């Protein structure tokens, strides 16, 4: 586990796959309504307090952003949110990045049309293009709240799924990048 102060009111925590195993949790299982997720978060915050040598003030709202890591772990960002209404009840907010969307085009022309659509709309932070086994793929990392719109738009040009790790691994391993 790597803990870094990211300014006065922000903390970045990188968990490896081994850390996740030690906490007995996966990225997919992380949900603040789950008691195990809360246990992990409070344990991480206690460790951050010890490592950074400073108290972590959670009297205000705390935004927790979680992204999947490249090695099977995850990256967590804890940010104090300044609440102008001090009388409001303390709340923790957890936000996960949207899962990547995998698009497989019906043919080359459909792939080109889909690329045009992807580039014309603010559908994602990044997009990767691959060819694998004569199939054309786009892996889109949508902005939060954009997944449904993206699925609806791309289904006209091919098969669209919210990715599973095996499918992504297969494309990354056997595909040739076109980006």
> d(Cα 68, Cα 152) in Å, to the nearest integer?
24
pLDDT tens-digit profile of 128-168?
Answer: 899 988 899 998 888 767 777 788 888 889 998 876 778 88
Residues 164 and 118 in one domain: yes
Choosing from 50, 66, 96, the residue where a domain stops is 96
Strand order in the sheet with 10-15: 2-5, 10-15, 74-81, 61-68, 92-96
Residues 47 and 108 in one domain: no
Residues 40 and 119 in one domain: no
pLDDT tens-digit profile of 102-131?
Answer: 899 989 999 999 888 887 766 556 788 999
Q: Which residue has the tokens 């309504």?
A: 33
What's the pTM value of the predicted model, to 2 decimals?
A: 0.50
Give the structural domain span for 154: 101-177
Choosing from 47, 65, 96, the residue where a domain stops is 96
pLDDT tens-digit profile of 70-97?
Answer: 778 898 988 877 655 444 444 555 556 6
Distance, first Cα to last Cα, the chain: 32
Residues 106 and 160 in one domain: yes
Query: CATH code at 157?
Result: 3.30.70.1950
Helices (H), ranges, the chain? 17-23, 35-52, 108-120, 147-154, 165-174
Residues 68 and 36 in one domain: yes
Residues 25 and 72 in one domain: yes
β-bridge mates for residue 16, sequence order: none
Choosing from 64, 96, 128, the residue where a domain stops is 96
Residues 18 and 71 in one domain: yes
> d(Cα 115, Cα 178) in Å, to the nearest integer?
11
β-bridge mates for residue 94, sequence order: 64
**Tally of domains in the chain:** 2
Residues 105 and 88 in one domain: no
Strand, coil or helix: what is 124? strand
Residues 130 and 70 in one domain: no
Residues 83 and 107 in one domain: no
Chain centroid to Cα 62, Å, comes to: 18
- Cβ neighbours for 11, distance < 8 A, ≥ 6 positions apart: 3, 4, 5, 48, 52, 56, 77, 78
Residues 107 and 92 in one domain: no
Residues 43 and 60 in one domain: yes
């Amino acid at each position: 586990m790597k803990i870094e102060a990211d300014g006065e009111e922000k903390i970045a925590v990188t968990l490896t796959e081994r850390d996740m195993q030690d906490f007995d949790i996966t990225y997919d299982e992380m949900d603040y309504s789950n008691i195990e997720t809360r246990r992990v978060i409070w344990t991480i915050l206690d460790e951050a307090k010890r490592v950074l040598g400073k108290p972590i003030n959670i009297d205000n709202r705390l935004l927790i952003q979680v992204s999947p890591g490249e090695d099977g772990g995850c990256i967590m960002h804890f940010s104090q949110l300044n609440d102008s209404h001090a009388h409001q009840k303390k709340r923790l907010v957890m936000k996960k990045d949207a899962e990547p969307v995998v698009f497989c085009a019906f043919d080359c022309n459909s792939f080109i049309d889909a690329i045009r659509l992807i580039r014309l709309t603010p559908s994602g932070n990044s997009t990767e293009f691959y060819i694998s086994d004569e199939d054309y793929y786009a892996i889109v990392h949508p902005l939060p709240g954009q997944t449904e719109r993206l699925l609806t738009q791309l289904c006209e040009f091919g098969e669209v799924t919210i990715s599973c790790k095996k499918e992504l691994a297969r494309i990354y391993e056997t595909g040739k990048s076109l980006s």
